[in-house]
Structure 1
Amino acid sequence: MIYKIIVLDLDGTLTNEKKEITPRTKEALIKAQEQGLKVVLASGRPTYGITALAEELELPRFEGYILAFNGGRIIDCKNNKVVFEQTLDQNLVPKLYYSSREAGLEILTYKGEGIIATKKTDQYVQIEASINKMKVEEASDFLQQIEYPINKCLIVGAPTPLHQLELQLAEQLKGKIDIYRSADYFLECVPVGIDKATSLNRLITELHIQSEEIIACGDNYNDLSMINFAGLGVAMANAPSEIQKQANYVTYSNEEEGVAHVVEKFILDQK
């Protein structure tokens, strides 16, 4: 099979624990793009938190794409244009806010090139800020200080209470909003029908590419849809066992340059 697109999750997949792309991984992806492969970066991160990595991999030059907010926004890196966008129903945000506060958890969203959160110093808010290299504004009145439209809210906190809230909100808001975790301490709240596979399907339809011609690499539950959708669904060795079981192939961990291994094995070595 000649693969035409590789779709890469970022945290725990493309980047190492330092949130960096290793020289070997970068070299493999540049070589693959020179051979015609399109690279798509697909993440729960906001667009601003992905752009630097896209530029490092020269996606503007090679006409790659960004799938931000778990697929809620698709960006064509060639011209920085929004190809697709779906925003969160603002009438549902108060429910997310009050539920998170009652559970003793923090909530955040994105405002321009920054984050607006209920508590700036919360350790999990700071993790999100560090990942995306974004400044945090602490809201004295979160609901009033949001600038709509927004693509998602992120509820953050310790895994056990967060999982309990996930079950509660998934039941209460079924059919109105999609709820899932992108990390043990991150609960994604996105528009209904938004996931990486759905947005990827929109993109490849425009590009006249078949799902069988896609490699998708990921390590967490929000990657599962695209791993199942792709012709070659790849799980990282650091992914939970449930995800590894559903993948076509399990590569090395993100600390062992698993993405580089996939590109070398299935793209570069085939030439």
Structure 2
Amino acid sequence: MKYKLLAIDLDGTLTDSNKQISPRTLSVLLHAQRCGTKIVIASGRPTHGIAPIANLLRLNEFGGYVLSFNGGEITNWQTGDIIWQKEVNKSYLPYLYESTRKHHLAIETFNGQYAITETPNDKYIQRQAAINNLTITCVPDFLEAVNFSIIKCLIVGESEKLEVAEKELQEKLQGELGIFRSEPYFLEIVAKDIDKARSLCVLLQHLKLQREELIAIGDGYNDISMIRYAGLGVVMENAIEVVKREADIIAPSNDNEGVAKIVEQLFNLT
């Protein structure tokens, strides 16, 4: 069966260690789109943090999609329409907030180009904002300030403290929220049953495509679901072993233009 949809994780997969896309990778992905392949950027980043890459890949021109917040939102990049979205139930925010205070961590959420937090000087809040080109907005009362719909909260801090909070939150809220680590210092909080595979299933139905027509490429824990789900699951050489075990194919590393090389091979672009 011919592959028609290519879902690519961003950090550690599409971009190199400097968060850049090489000229060769860009050229290959533009070529693939000209030949009819649809591209989906599937990332835990907020939509605003994916936008520069989506625009560089010209997804607006070729009709590509952005799957952001680890699957909490899907945007048709050509029209700007949000075709699917699942919000976090805000009734859980007080518990999440108190947990961060108890464990001396920081919490933030996102509203367009803004990161909303009480702790703007936290180094991990600043790191996340820099990666995603977000403006940090300091608020005196986080719970009062979040008067808008949210797709994801992020709890940040030192790995050891975050590990304790993660275990506690999972024991209390497992089955009610999605709680997982995307980095040692980032704990993601999304709505129940949100992951990249479930959102790609929604997109495939929207496009009237089969999962056998999907290739998924990733490197992280939060990519495992889509790697398992896709007709062909590709894992980067730089991934840890537990993720590599899920692969149908191992691609070269993100610092060795792995996405470009595997796309050339799979779509006969050389």
Q: Look up the equivalent residue of 1:113 and give its one-letter code.
A: Q
Q: CA deviation at 1:75?
A: 0.3
Q: List per-residue Cα deviations over 1:52-95 (Å, max 9, x = no partner).
A: 11110010111000011111111001100010011010000111
Matched, 1:65 2:65: yes
Q: Look up the equivalent residue of 1:171 and give its one-letter code.
A: E
Please report the RMSD computed on the Cα atoms of aligned residues, expressed in angstroms: 1.2
Moved >2 Å (runs of 4+): none
| 1: CA distance, partners of 2:242 / 2:223 | 12
Q: Look up the equivalent residue of 1:161 and give its one-letter code.
A: K
| Percentage of matched positions with identical amino acids | 44
* SS at 2:245 equivalent: helix
Q: List per-residue Cα deviations over 1:92-122 (Å, max 9, x = no partner).
A: 0111111011111111101231101231121
Between stretches 159-168 and 59-68, larger displacement belongs to: 159-168
Aligned residues: 270
Match in the other structure for 2:247: 247
Match in the other structure for 1:162: 162
Q: CA deviation at 1:245?
A: 0.8
* SS at 2:82 equivalent: strand
State whether residues 32 and 269 of structure 2, in contact with CA within 8 Å, keep that contact through their aligned partners in structure 1: no
* SS at 1:104 equivalent: coil
* SS at 1:45 equivalent: coil
| 2: CA distance, partners of 1:43 / 1:260 | 18
* SS at 1:12 equivalent: helix
Q: CA deviation at 1:203?
A: 0.4
Decide whether aligned partners of structure 1 residues 240 and 118 sit closer, same or farther in structure 2, where only a CA change above 3 A counts: farther
Taking structure 2 as the reference length, the TM-score comes to: 0.97
Match in the other structure for 2:178: 178
Q: CA deviation at 1:5?
A: 0.8
Query: Unaligned 5+ residue runs, structure 1?
Result: none
Query: Unaligned 5+ residue runs, structure 2?
Result: none
Q: Look up the equivalent residue of 2:41 and give its one-letter code.
A: L
The residue correspondences of 1:20-169 to structure 2 (distance < 5 A) are 20-169=20-169
| 1: CA distance, partners of 2:18 / 2:117 | 24
Q: CA deviation at 1:20?
A: 1.4
State whether residues 111 and 147 of structure 1, in contact with CA within 8 Å, keep that contact through their aligned partners in structure 2: no
State whether residues 103 and 161 of structure 1, in contact with CA within 8 Å, keep that contact through their aligned partners in structure 2: yes
Q: CA deviation at 1:139?
A: 2.2
* SS at 1:13 equivalent: helix
Match in the other structure for 2:267: 267
